Structure 1
Amino acid sequence: MGTWMDEAEFDAAVDAALARIPDELARLLTNVVVVVEDEYEPQPWEDPDTELLGVYEGIPLTERAEMAWQLPDRIVVFRGPLTRHCRSRAELEHEITVTVMHEVGHFFGISEERLHELGWG
């Protein structure tokens, strides 16, 4: 099944999820960009059927050393898998929020296991 949402609505849902981040944490989200892509392209060593909802690419805040300059980290939210995974608009909006919070958690160095314990995975 799945739930359709046009690109502008999906982007607005991602923005709404980001707006839910508490101000004290949002201020720490520096040198990171959040982007929406249609599909996840599995790496050559991954199962070709791998379907991620989102991914964090970068160096977690807890592991960073002071550097004069570095490329921004990226949080990528994948539209296709999320829309295929959800059966209603409410579920899709919820899963977008969970995905964004999950990947932001990785930016802060929170492990996969702890994110699941907190309900963000």
Structure 2
Amino acid sequence: MTRRILIVDDQPQICELYGMFFEREGMRTSRAATAEECLTRVDGDKPDVVLLDINLAEEDGLDVLTRIKQAHPRTRVVMMTGMGYVDDLLREALNRGADGYVSKGLPCEELLQAVKRVMP
């Protein structure tokens, strides 16, 4: 069974890089740059995992996380941050239902392991 991953980031180069990497690993990917696009794709694509930037341009990633978990409580969400590991933000993400978190600076192999850990 092919795993599906949705990559959500307002930086197109991040979506492209991670998308190409996960596709090489045999996963089907989709990408979103905005909160609304993310929610539409979660509804339609039914991803196994959402890789969600905590700091989207138009909406707080934590609010998007809450909306995903309310509509699709079984969808796994891994939060991404480019700010390093900020304890308060990560604690809040876990309190809102995040299944994990990663730094955007991680090597792709470590990112893959983080995603695999939360896959159903």
Short-chain TM bin: 0.3 to 0.5
Structure of larger gyration radius: 1
What is the TM-score of this pair, normalised by structure 1?
A: 0.35
Flag the structure with higher strand content. 2
Q: Which of the pair has the greater relative contact order for Cα pairs under 8 Å at 6+ separation?
A: 1
